[in-house]
Amino acid sequence: MPTLKETLAARIPKFRREVDDIRHNHGEKVIGEVTIAQAYGGMRGVKSMVTETSALDPNEGIRFRGHTIPELQKALPRAAEGEEPLPEGLFYLLLTGDLPTEENVAEVTAEWQARGTLPEYVYKVLDALPPQTHPMTQLSAGIVAQQPESVFVRRYREGISKSEYWEYTFEDTMNLLARLPALAAYIYRRTYKGGKIIPADPELDWAGNFAHMLGYDTRMFRELMRLYLTIHADHEGGNVSAHATHLVGSTLSDVYYSLAAGMNGLAGPLHGLANQEVLRWILHVREELGGGVPSRQKLSSFVWDTLNSGRVIPGYGHAVLRKTDPRYMAEREFALKHMPDDELFRIVSTLYEIVPAILIEHGKAKNPWHNVDAHSGVLLMHNGMVEHDFYTVLFGVSRAMGVLSSLVWDRALGLPLERPKSLTTEYIKTII
């Protein structure tokens, strides 16, 4: 069986030729136009970059290399004890475009186990931060602190050909992904559990071992991590964490600098931090309505009160999606299977039934449907992980797989420094 790196090495020259041909022979073809509204408005919908690993359809949701989440739940290899896909399999798919076999996945698991030890000095860097430092700050610091490990930087200094860049970016990617669970678990343990490290279990898969190092040794939590880390991995190229990683990477900054940039973007409340905001709102709903599972009627008036006071309903709406997020549905199915009677899940479930109709009647949100963040928090709460500030770190560990797979391809295709043109309002006034 060819290794993951050999499979990639075989794919790259052919795809490089295809892309070179497209750029050379069709480079002048127009793929879109940009309006003043888009230039001021966060570049929404501007077609201006290429990302191979996944594509987001407004109605259907995410497809990873052409496959939907329900398809992958069936097609990706699973752990012996479980039913959820192994994230190593998704990583193999994102990187190569091929659905992996059990052996392909076992190779990634073994590689990540072998490379998974966090350098001692990273613990010291984290220990120098006050314990109340936000977990996302610690994640970013812990990633960038490992930058001296970069194989790419060492080889670049020695002088390598451009065609080899991807190989050392791949090595850095494998090392960093292998160590992320140990880093994230230490952040959790030092922030919330007195700093006692739980050593890795070499018998477990990447997500199962992560659950173990976090201190959650139940089958349900291992399964939750396998699902969670699979479905949050990628959301095409324009979202902030993907775009920031790609942008910084385009300067030939190594994966440590690039991923830290992506994680700094994920830390914003309009991006990865939304999941903790949603959970806060649901807990607030429960408290305000006197505890337990409030009736549909009570929840309905609470939702209207929130809207009438000029606030948004967290967990609903999306910049691109126009239907229920399939990641939400995967999480809902997990809850229905494992924790149907959980009180917070029942609140989420009632909101699932009543909020879209209310938002449609309210008439503002372009997408009245549920997004992924409406659900993830209650799954973690049910399993005893009550520290909301940590949730975005889990998102980050997963997202690293997608954005770093893309960075390997950026290097493989020799994509150039990113440098769009900005305009001044003075200039805009001259053209209106």
Contact residues toward ligand AMX (CB under 6 A) are: 270-271, 274, 307, 312-319, 364-367, 371, 373
In the complex with ligand AMX, the residue whose CB is nearer, 315 or 377, is 315
Least gap, CB of 160 to ligand AMX (angstroms): 38
Least gap, CB of 237 to ligand AMX (angstroms): 14
In the complex with ligand AMX, the residue whose CB is nearer, 178 or 374, is 374
Least gap, CB of 357 to ligand AMX (angstroms): 13
Least gap, CB of 313 to ligand AMX (angstroms): 4
In the complex with ligand AMX, the residue whose CB is nearer, 106 or 312, is 312
In the complex with ligand AMX, the residue whose CB is nearer, 16 or 271, is 271
Least gap, CB of 331 to ligand AMX (angstroms): 13
Element (H, E) at 9: helix 4-26
C-alpha 410/C-alpha 53 separation (Å) is 11
The token pair at 265 is: 């973007």
Which single residue is written with the structure tokens 């791949």? 170
C-alpha 373/C-alpha 314 separation (Å) is 8
264 in Cβ contact with 141 (< 8 Å): no
Element (H, E) at 54: strand 54-57
Least gap, CB of 392 to ligand AMX (angstroms): 10
224 in Cβ contact with 208 (< 8 Å): no
In the complex with ligand AMX, the residue whose CB is nearer, 147 or 350, is 350
C-alpha 181/C-alpha 207 separation (Å) is 8
Catalytic machinery residues: 271, 318, 373
Order of all β-strands in the sheet with 67-68: 54-57, 61-64, 67-68
C-alpha 336/C-alpha 313 separation (Å) is 23
In the complex with ligand AMX, the residue whose CB is nearer, 15 or 302, is 302
Torsion-angle region of residue 318: left (phi > 0), alpha (psi -120 to 50) or beta?
beta
* DSSP reduced 3-state for 303: helix
Task: Name every residue whose Cβ is closer than 8 Å to that of residue 306 and which is 6 or more positions away in sequence.
Answer: 312, 313
For ligand AMX, which residue has the nearest CB? 317
The token pair at 87 is: 């994230």
DSSP 78: B
